[in-house]
Amino acid sequence: MDGPNGCSHSVTPPRRTAIRRIPLAHLPRNRAWSCRVDPSHAVGFEMILLPIHIVAGLLAITAGAVALTGSATLTVVSASAAVLAVNTSTQSLQVALPLRTLTYNGSSSLSRTVTTNGATTTTVNRWTSPGITVQSVRNARTSTFTLSNVDLSRTFVQTSGVITARSASGTYTLDAVLPNGTWSITTATQGAVSYDANGVPTQGAWTITLPNNIIGVSVVPGTLTVAIDFGADGSIDRTYVFSTATIVAEAD
């Protein structure tokens, strides 16, 4: 069955710059839909369609249980085997649920670049956003969540089709304004963090900034260290050292 705007379950992305606007009225009710792209044109195009999946998912709720107004735009900036880039935007996208109303505003840019040198292929995924806000209103009580200053990148290196290295870098800030107070967290890598082929961190550091404390996380092969600065006064008050193998085992 065809999806909105003529998008079927197997589509090919445009070969040149194009703007695809999906009228909300054309999105299906009572079911989710997805678009898959010929991987010979662009690897991982499904990631770019995430905003549409979210909107379609909202409409998959039982008919009559949700009212959706506003607009969402997906702009394909570039689509080729080497570079895939899109911009997303929502303007007062309001979801009226039985017990609350959600309003989405914001914009972001997503890109994937693929570089091949002999048997080695390097893929870089990047997501940037100046701000995405979700406001929830229930019983005259308002909560607002804002994701801002987003700049996150992940790099994968494949040799003869096998992932041999990974790395990640970037920063984001999440703020919450709640009926009874406010809260925020900023997470940033200190340079790039390296991972092995299985996704286990091997080298790098992160800083997590909370309203009153700062947490530093660093990793070297085999060891992960957590340093806590209570009061954010520049002095380390607690330090915890873990085996990376233990952390991975607990996560599994």
Q: Is the pTM of this model over 0.85?
A: no
Q: Which DSSP letter does residue 221 get?
A: T
Least-confidence region, from 54-58, 124-128, 148-152, 243-247: 54-58
Q: For position 65, what pLDDT does the model report?
A: 64
Q: Which one, of 226, 225, 224, lies nearest residue 244 by Cα?
A: 224
Task: Report how far residue 40's alpha carbon sits from residue 117's, in angstroms, rounded to the nearest whole number.
Answer: 17
Task: Report how far residue 151's alpha carbon sits from residue 153's, in angstroms, rounded to the nearest whole number.
Answer: 7
Residue 151 pLDDT level (bands cut at 50, 70, 90): very high
Is there a contact between 153 and 171 (Cβ–Cβ < 8 Å)?
A: no
Domain ranges of the chain: 4-199, 200-252
Residue 216 pLDDT level (bands cut at 50, 70, 90): very high
Strands (E), 97-210: 101-117, 120-138, 141-159, 162-178, 181-189, 193-195, 201-209
Task: Report how far residue 216's alpha carbon sits from residue 251's, in angstroms, rounded to the nearest whole number.
Answer: 20
3-state secondary structure of 246: helix
- β-strand 213-220 against 141-159: which pairing, if any? unpaired
- Residue 155 pLDDT more than 60? yes
pLDDT digits (tens, 9 = 90+) for 129-148: 999 999 999 998 999 999 99
Q: For position 23, what pLDDT does the model report?
A: 42
> How far separated are the first and last CA of the chain, in Å rounded?
38
Q: For position 199, what pLDDT does the model report?
A: 82
Q: For position 1, what pLDDT does the model report?
A: 42
Is there a contact between 165 and 183 (Cβ–Cβ < 8 Å)?
A: no
Q: For position 200, what pLDDT does the model report?
A: 86
Structure tokens, 102: 């959600």
Is there a contact between 231 and 251 (Cβ–Cβ < 8 Å)?
A: no
Chain mean pLDDT for the chain: 79
